């Protein structure tokens, strides 16, 4: 079932789009918590921060999309 879900058309596109959206929302919320300070971006190592946020977004996007596609395929098998 895992291969079937991961090879389904649109799966990886959905994973990446959710990862990008999650990352953007996360950065905005974190920046807001810091009071929209200009030092928010200069205090961190930008490469580590971006890679970390995108990696977290990909994990989030994978699990959410996997659940969505798995439910969709199970529903199609029942009908």
Question: pLDDT tens digits for 9-62?
Answer: 999 999 999 999 999 999 999 999 999 998 888 888 989 999 999 999 999 999
Which whole-number Å values give the CA distances from 39 to 18, 25, 36, in the listed order?
27, 18, 9
Sort residue 35 into left (φ over 0), alpha (ψ -120 to 50) or beta.
left
CA atoms within 13 A on the CB side of 58: 7
- Give the count of domains, the chain: 1
User: Which residues constitute the domain of residue 28?
Assistant: 2-78
Q: Is the pLDDT of residue 79 over 90?
A: no
């Amino acid at each position: 079932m895992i291969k079937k879900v991961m090879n389904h058309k649109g799966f990886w596109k959905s994973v990446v789009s959710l990862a990008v959206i999650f990352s953007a929302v996360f950065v905005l919320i974190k920046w807001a918590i810091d009071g929209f300070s200009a030092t928010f971006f200069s205090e961190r190592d930008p490469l580590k921060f971006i890679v970390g946020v995108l990696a977290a977004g990909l994990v989030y996007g994978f699990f959410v999309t996997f659940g969505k596609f798995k439910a969709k395929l199970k529903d199609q098998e029942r009908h």
